[in-house]
Structure 1
Amino acid sequence: MKLLRYGEPGAEKPGMLDAGGRIRDLSGVIGDIDGKAIAPASLQKLAALDPASLPLVDGEPRLGPCVAGVGKFVCIGLNYADHAAESKLDLPKEPVVFLKANSAICGPNDTVLIPRDSEKTDWEVELGVIIGTGGKYISEEDALSHVAGYCVINDVSERAFQIERGGTWDKGKGADTFGPVGPWLVTADEVADPQALKLWLDVDGKRYQDGTTANMVFGVAHLISYLSRFMSLAPGDIISTGTPAGVGMGQKPPIYLRAGQVMELGIEGLGTQRQKLADDR
């Protein structure tokens, strides 16, 4: 299934994509696409529905983040060998963990705002993992059974804030609109192998990132197990799993985003995003 949320910010409704790529309204069945709705028993009930029996949504409404009520937005840094190399950093011996502010979460096609005083706003296409079954001290062998689904994430980053302003990553990662999520939550049964997905990102039509999740240093199952040693994971939590080479910081010379530019990105089988850049005034 492909589950989504559509409508104006703060007033999104739950929906499902049918076989023809049309949005079907789920608001008569569930209140929202949130931790409760993506628990295993709920997903099983949703999977039993005939999409044709649900009301068809007219037009092309705005898409919101594909999951609501996110408790934690956990991110992994330097998780592709080629990205670590372009960042001139050694491969991590353990996953590099940071938290992205939940207030950064926005829809997949919403405008991304370049913060005031920004010098180095950058892009990062990433595979998002959405937890459906919570837990702690999860074994790696059991980890994927805790996944409700997967999505596309753009881990937008301000490199000067991240690296040159005291050395803590979070303030370069958490600006408003720095976390586009979606367009949809693709349930885990539709993703045969999360370590075999192509992902890409273009800026103004030029391809900068062109990678595969096969090149992760730490795979999805390991990340879930690892994180659960340090924090409990809950339904609706998002794990953003790192980015391949090709970020702006890694170009020679570095290239950073400007107002008026357009980012387009996607992951095989999980959909695409498109964001225009604007200054945050």
Structure 2
Amino acid sequence: MRLATVSVDSHAVCVALLANGSRVDISRAIKMLMPDTSIDVSTMQLIIEGGQIALEALSAVVAAGEAGELKDLLVPEDAPLLSPIPTPRKNVFCVGRNYAEHIAEGERAQKEKIGITEHPVFFTKPPTSVVAPDADILLFPSVSQSIDYEVELAVVIGNRGRNITKADAFNHVFGYSILNDITARDIQRRHGGQYFKGKGLDGSCPIGPYIVTADAISDPQALSIGLTVNGEQRQNGMTSDMIFDIPTLIASLSEGLTLEPGDIIATGTPSGVGYAMEPPQFLKNGDVVVCEVSEIGTLRNTVRAV
């Protein structure tokens, strides 16, 4: 299933997408189909926390919608998309240096040996960095002159767990989305090479357009992943090229650290980033950045100087 959050009369409404592209208001549909249920699906966070019961209810909504039974509960097509989880409860977990060719291009650009780490490199982006599909990637000219992009597959945690094994990792995944890890390279270097400040600016974490539930993805480690700037292909890879696969990331991150429903993990980016081009090509005001991951969709944002 494809699930999204849209804005209707300034209110966030969770919708399920039908095969023809129509959007069904999930909360209203469940109240109509299951008037006696106590399940709360008014937000994406609550849907995720609802677990298998919520997924079964959503399946009933989609089936009824495809059968034409929910025509009065469709959301207008022009209702703008919000980020699937508009304000995550916690920082977004991110993974650095997870594609070998990206590491290699970084070594060429920085003229130093970086190498593959023995364990995943983790950092975070604050909830205030999250922005919606079609919203602006903010450019702060007085703060940074080196804003870059990184398309990533995002994993959304469904089931709470700590010390999760690799064998059990996928049982903790609710679904997948697309994330653009916008990075201020000069700030990153200025602060000793640590990631948080350079990757935590407002507007630096577009996520969307949907969450695709885990059962609807054939193989999350066999997806094409790419990015264009103003129509020019910059990144083009496969999730199979990850150094640390999704079960390894979940197992490593959850060591002594509890992952909870709604947590988001960005899994790293393939080669083709702007700072490693010759000459470097950083984002500028008015640029249109489009991220795409097969079986999920397209995430489009425009850069705006403020």
CA distance in 1, matches of 2:105, 2:10: 38
* Residues 257-281 of structure 1, C-alpha deviations (whole Å, 9 max, x = no match): 000111011100101011111112x
1:98 to 123, 136, 156: 123
- Which residue identity lines up with residue 85 of structure 1 in the other structure? A
* 1:110 aligned partner: 135
Alignment of 1:66-81 (within 5 A): 66-72=84-90, 73-81=92-100
CA distance in 1, matches of 2:258, 2:267: 17
Contact 1:71 1:234 in 2 (8 A): no
TM-score by structure 2 length? 0.88
* 1:31 aligned partner: 42
* Residues 86-107 of structure 1, C-alpha deviations (whole Å, 9 max, x = no match): 1112112110000111111111
Contact 1:16 1:23 in 2 (8 A): yes
Q: Which of the two has greater helix per residue?
A: 2
Deviation at 1:37, TM superposition (A): 3.6
Larger Rg over CA atoms: 2
* 1:145 aligned partner: 171
* Residues 85-137 of structure 1, C-alpha deviations (whole Å, 9 max, x = no match): 11112112110000111111111221111123211100000000000101100
CA distance in 1, matches of 2:150, 2:138: 15
Deviation at 1:53, TM superposition (A): 3.5
Contact 1:40 1:132 in 2 (8 A): no
Change (3 A) 1:257 1:237: same
- Which residue identity lines up with residue 31 of structure 1 in the other structure? S
Gap runs ≥5 in structure 1: none
Deviation at 1:229, TM superposition (A): 0.2
* 2:301 aligned partner: 275
Change (3 A) 1:230 1:23: same
TM-score by structure 1 length? 0.95
- Which residue identity lines up with residue 65 of structure 1 in the other structure? S
Contact 1:32 1:68 in 2 (8 A): no
Contact 1:40 1:148 in 2 (8 A): no
Q: How many residue pairs end up in the alignment? A: 280
Deviation at 1:21, TM superposition (A): 1.3
In percent, how many aligned pairs have the same letter? Answer: 36
Gap runs ≥5 in structure 2: 31-40, 108-113
* 1:175 aligned partner: 201
- Which 4+ residue blocks in structure 1 deviate beyond 4 angstroms? none
